[in-house]
Amino acid sequence: QVQLVESGGGLVQPGGSLRLSCVVSGLSFRSYAFQWVRRAPGKGLQWIAAISSDGNYKTHSDSLKGRFTIARDNSENTLYLQMNSLTVEDTARYYCARDFYHETTANDVFDIWGQGTLVTVSS
């Protein structure tokens, strides 16, 4: 069956870095764009970044101020999120999600999600 499994979260000190991974199985990874979304404690969902199927096009939330970078390795069916200069405000559960384009409504939807990996930034 289709699975998206995130890993790489954990406790990190302010100013530190982490690289999250999302291993995808059960679908043709190289055929789809993917996204990262997070949810901080007591807050709502926040869109973080998107990457095209071939990895050549990437966008990131302006609010991250260039600290995060999305990447993918189609030979390893893996999506990545490199996070630098972490602050306590980055404490959240981070989700990867498949981006599926519905031609009937011309909408991109995040239709398959992982269970997330928890990142805690604290001294």
Partner 1 sequence: VITQSPATLSVSPGETATLSCRASQNVNNKLVWYQQRPGQAPRLLIHGASTRATGIPARFRGSGSGTEFTLTISGLQSEDSAVYYCQHYNNWRGTFGPGTTVHIK
The residues binding partner 1 (CB under 8 A) are 35, 37, 39, 44-47, 50, 57, 59, 61, 95, 97, 102, 104-111, 113-116
The H or E element that residue 113 is part of is strand 107-113
How many Å apart are CA 115 and CA 52, to the nearest integer?
Answer: 22
Q: Which is nearer to partner 1, 30 or 39 (CB)?
A: 39
Q: Give least dist CB 58 to partner 1, A.
A: 8
Strand duo 18-25 + 78-83: pairing: antiparallel
Q: Which is nearer to partner 1, 24 or 37 (CB)?
A: 37
The CB-side HSE value for 121 (13 A sphere, CA atoms) comes to: 19
Q: Give least dist CB 45 to partner 1, A.
A: 4
Q: Give least dist CB 11 to partner 1, A.
A: 20
Q: Which is nearer to partner 1, 16 or 120 (CB)?
A: 120
Q: List Cβ<8 Å contacts ≥24 apart for 51-55.
A: 51/79, 54/30
